[in-house]
Structure 1
């Protein structure tokens, strides 16, 4: 099994200022060795390490971890897609085969950034290098994400954290409508990950999460869904095993072949691992 969404960092209170006092449990360093125990008990054999900092230095940090830890099967890094010399940067990074794709923290950007023609041209260039692109956004940004994706029908995308629906308040109607539209693009997949951070961290219910699962599994289907944990961010709510068991429980309704796709084969095909 492959966990398609984990982060590693040496905690820096300035750089990682998004990790506030309410998130004390993750205001510390997290390295691959910290995942080995839950992975072993759950028979998870590999992960995709996703950027948490927007710098090329982050790519080298993740690459150094991957060299020392075979559990890291691929990396989603960061590169400045607005860089006039983007082609040169992609040529450079193409020497590092562990880097499978890229991500920008679009949840922190506005509509003008997401729909900037130069940004979209930057994403268009990724296809030449067989790179994937992870979409990180809030539910209210999905209309802009749809407009962007519509211009890039040949680029493999994956939506992180189901597009961050409002799990806590269960205001899911507009989100669900946008998920349906986004999923109509066959080049877009979805990670079932990250929802604990959007819920009431300590008081969520299984039904609240399953309401979200139902929407993404209905529209993306087993062939375009991937398991991810969003570790260690998810630790603000529950231990790793709790999230895994929740997804495992929900997907019990699917055939063994479909579960194999969700927990392994889709990730291997998408990221080329």
Structure 2
């Protein structure tokens, strides 16, 4: 079984995605039906929808969209990692009214705002609120920003953080050393989890299994199988690979682990971190 903790869906007829105009290769609708066909063929049994940086006015509409998909008979979707604005004074009110049967976690895209945003007292206070509510916070930052992630994790020790895309390494540029040091620093924070997701997108398109292996081996060495989860980052992964290809690549990169270790990364850890109960899966 595979738990995809990082699926983006795009429906431009009901939601606005300002950033897509700058990403022509992705600027189209990406629907659940097409994803589901492939997912069921390659062993994906559970899915979390990852927010797609919609226009701020559409944040709650995106969560409602995910709730509709969850209610479909046989749906693979178990919840939403929702967009929010922790830098806003209205965050506490948003969290109070959030439907936690749908919202399983929160993400704020941080590489599109000034670095100082995630370091303010208000932002940190609101991320701490997530910990009290039992909701993890996904961190998406560029590799150069990872020291900011360390600061945030230290400031909110009771909140679980999930570092997306292995910390967005510059694989194409071969910028291994600084990234590796930052990953080691984050791994020393017990409240940080590493997400193995979509790193082919950072290769520039020319990649091999052997070329990815040192990057993945490093996060395995630092975090270990008990503190890692898997995600597709579909459709972003399609920039330089397909969904099925990324699954096959991931399986190959994890092949030397034990069955229990692979199961932890590919499924079991996600169920624990996002509190996806067995009854939720059986009712789908």
Q: TM-score, normalised by structure 1?
A: 0.93
Choose which of 70, 73, 81 in structure 2 pairs with 1:76: 81
- Note the aligned Cα RMSD (angstroms): 1.7
Shift of 1:116: 1.0
For residues 31-50 of structure 1, the aligned pairs below 5 Å read: 31-50=31-50
Q: How many residues align?
A: 269
Q: 5+ residue gaps in structure 2?
A: 277-284
Alpha-carbon contact 2:225-2:265 (below 8 Å) kept: yes
**Greater displacement, 60-69 / 240-249:** 60-69
The answer for the alignment partner of 1:207 in structure 2 is: 210
| Cα separation, 2, equivalents of 1:84 and 1:215 | 38
**Greater displacement, 55-64 / 217-226:** 55-64
Alpha-carbon contact 2:10-2:30 (below 8 Å) kept: yes
Which SS does the other structure have where 2:6 is aligned?
strand
Shift of 1:97: 0.7
Say yes or no: does 1:112 pair with 2:116: yes
Say yes or no: does 1:19 pair with 2:49: no
The answer for the alignment partner of 1:85 in structure 2 is: 90
The answer for the alignment partner of 2:242 in structure 1 is: 239
Say yes or no: does 1:10 pair with 2:14: no
| Cα separation, 2, equivalents of 1:207 and 1:267 | 27
Alpha-carbon contact 2:132-2:159 (below 8 Å) kept: no
Alpha-carbon contact 2:186-2:192 (below 8 Å) kept: yes
Say yes or no: does 1:132 pair with 2:136: yes
Q: 5+ residue gaps in structure 1?
A: none
| Cα separation, 2, equivalents of 1:194 and 1:138 | 14
| Cα separation, 2, equivalents of 1:49 and 1:243 | 18
Choose which of 219, 223, 248 in structure 2 pairs with 1:220: 223
Pair 1:236–1:11, CA change in 2 (3 A): farther
Say yes or no: does 1:102 pair with 2:102: no
Q: TM-score, normalised by structure 2?
A: 0.89
| Cα separation, 2, equivalents of 1:222 and 1:101 | 21
